[in-house]
Amino acid sequence: MGDKDLAPEAEELDAEECWRLLRETTVGRLGVTAGGRPDIFPVNYRVEDNTLVFLTAAGTKTRVLEDDAAVALEADAVSAEFGMAWSVVVKGQALAATATNQSLDAMSRALFPWQGAGKDRLFRIAPDSVTGRRYAVTPDIRWKAGIDDATRAGME
């Protein structure tokens, strides 16, 4: 019996469960193609009517998104307490959304962006697909191995 036989199967999640899990966290990674190359940006998002909304500032991400870009947003979480992890991917189009100053203020308070200054551009991801998986996290002795002296020296 090989290692592959010992690995637990991932549970495929239906769309309803994916949206429920997306509501449990507010940070994801937004994948785009910029200048012909893949790029990934952390974003603080919120689920609104089975779409994802987020604020951003001017820059590379905004230039790509303003071209009606196809995007993917991935969010995940791990629970050491329950030995479970999940990952959800939303693929679709990022569309510029209009908002009043009042709704931008409310969104900013709800999202807790890591870098809040200048986040005045609202985008909505209209999903083409929503997929997700839940995994059992299996303790692995390799994860508990200490840092060797060479790695420790490089960090100090």
What's the confidence (pLDDT) of residue 28?
95
Q: What is the pLDDT along the chain (156 residues), one digit of tens a residue?
A: 455 556 568 899 999 999 999 999 989 999 998 888 999 999 989 998 899 988 887 777 878 888 767 999 999 999 877 788 999 999 999 988 776 555 555 655 565 555 655 667 888 899 999 999 998 887 655 455 555 555 544 444
Q: Which residue has the tokens 């309803």?
A: 16
The pLDDT value recorded for residue 40 is: 93
Tokens coding 9: 């199967």
Q: What are phi and psi of 130, to 5 degrees?
A: -135, 120
How many Å is the Cα radius of gyration of the chain?
19
Residue 45 identity (one-letter amino acid): Y
For residue 32, what pLDDT is reported?
93
Beta strand pairing call for 27-34 and 70-79: antiparallel
Q: What's the rounded Cα separation, in Å, for the pair 25 and 21?
A: 7
Residue with tokens 């893949």: 38
Burial class of residue 32 in the structure, from the number of CB atoms within 10 Å of its CB (0-12 exposed, 13-18 middle, 19+ buried): buried
pTM: 0.76
